[in-house]
Amino acid sequence: MIDSNETCFIFDVDGTLSEPRQKVKQDHKDFFINWAKDKQCFIATGSDFIKVREQIDIDMLNCFKKIYCCMGNEVRNPDGFITRQNHFIVPDDLNLDLENFIRHSLFEYRTGRHLEIRTGMVNFSIVGRNATQEQRKEYYEWDKNIGERLKMASFINDMYPYLEASVGGSISIDIIKKGCDKGQVVHHLQGSGAEKIVFVGDKCFPGGNDYGIIRELKNTSMKFDWYNVSSPNETYKLIKENNIFSEE
């Protein structure tokens, strides 16, 4: 699957190839398709494949050898064919703890859909995913002062050493099996013969959802480079101007 003499370029999606939850801009897309012709490219995103398809047209998606969705817990070919999936079943004890959080939170509203199970992970929210934009904002502001999400995440991390909870998005926390983050992508590519990896993401710092990749790259013997960008514009500028992206 991989030519080990060639670099593997991995890209995050939200905030890197496109604005969060937006489509890739036409001029960015045209440029990328042309650049990627003779490259080995991969996607590593927290989103599921449906969102990836909404944001990246098929002609650009075809530039990627593999799409690592749901933090690397689901691996797809560009045509959508699933080549690997990790399942996560919410343990009963955790379910009870999450129900208790909902019962005892001092936040005013509960709108339903508190638990969203994605491949390999669960997303939990006190206000619930049926919340209106206003209710979401209200929860976000309230939580900023109270730190409810941080407290819930550290409770879970203390009680369940085999799980990893982190604050994600604006109203929720993400829970995964320890190690089942984007770091999995590095091991999968290494297992497929990769020897050099270049990664571009917008949340490469500890606590960010790209950090798993950086952490694992630093633990391998592979050659690697990584870039933390602050916008899609910066990503495409980087590809255009940095030699590392034009090396054969």
CB of 136 to Mg ion, least distance (A): 19
CB of 198 to Mg ion, least distance (A): 16
Residues numbered 154 to 173 that lie near Mg ion (CB under 5 A) are none
- Of 16 and 105, CB closest to Mg ion: 16
Is there a contact between 174 and 121 (Cβ–Cβ < 8 Å)?
yes
Closer residue to Mg ion (CB): 14 or 181: 14
- CB distance 216 to 8 below 8 Å: no
What is the amino acid identity at position 35? W
Q: Which stretch binds Mg ion (CB under 5 A): 7-15, 54-62, 139-147, 239-247?
A: 7-15
Taking alpha carbons only, the member of 226, 211, 243, 224 closest to residue 7 is: 224
- The tokens describing 95, both together, are 């379910």
Name the residue nearer to Mg ion (CB basis): 148 or 210: 210
- Taking CB positions, which residue lies at the least distance from Mg ion? 15
- Residue 191, token pair as written in the block: 């297992």
Q: How distant, in Å, are the alpha carbons of 32, 157, 235 from that of 122?
A: 33, 14, 30
CA-closest candidate to residue 203, choices 173, 234, 229 = 229
H or E stretch covering 201: strand 196-201
Given a contact cutoff of 8 angstroms between Cβ atoms, the answer to whether 56 and 88 are in contact is no
The binder of Mg ion chosen from 9, 10, 11, 15 (CB under 5 A)? 15
**Beta-carbon count within 10 A of 196 CB:** 17
**Which is closer to Mg ion, CB of 51 or CB of 110?**
51
* Nearer to Mg ion among residue 14 and residue 174 (C-beta): 14
Give the residue with the Cβ less far from Mg ion, 195 or 202: 202
* Number of residues binding to Mg ion, judged by CB under 5 A: 4
12 binds Mg ion (CB under 5 A): yes
Give the strands of the sheet with 172-177, arranged side by side: 115-118, 121-125, 172-177, 163-168
Nearest distance from C-beta of residue 90 to Mg ion, angstroms: 25
Helix or strand or coil: residue 78? Answer: coil
Tell me how far, at minimum, the Cβ of 30 lies from Mg ion, in Å.
Answer: 22
The span of 15-23, 72-80, 100-108, 179-187 binding Mg ion (CB under 5 A) equals 15-23
Q: Which stretch binds Mg ion (CB under 5 A): 12-20, 77-85, 155-163, 215-223?
A: 12-20
Residues 170-229 that bind Mg ion (CB under 5 A): 202
Footprint on residues 53-82 left by Mg ion (CB under 5 A): none
Query: Residues near 71 by Cβ (< 8 Å), separated by ≥ 6?
Result: 45, 46, 120, 121, 176, 180, 181, 182, 184, 209, 212
C-beta closer to Mg ion: residue 4 or 231: 231
**Site residues (CB under 5 A) for Mg ion?**
12, 14-15, 202
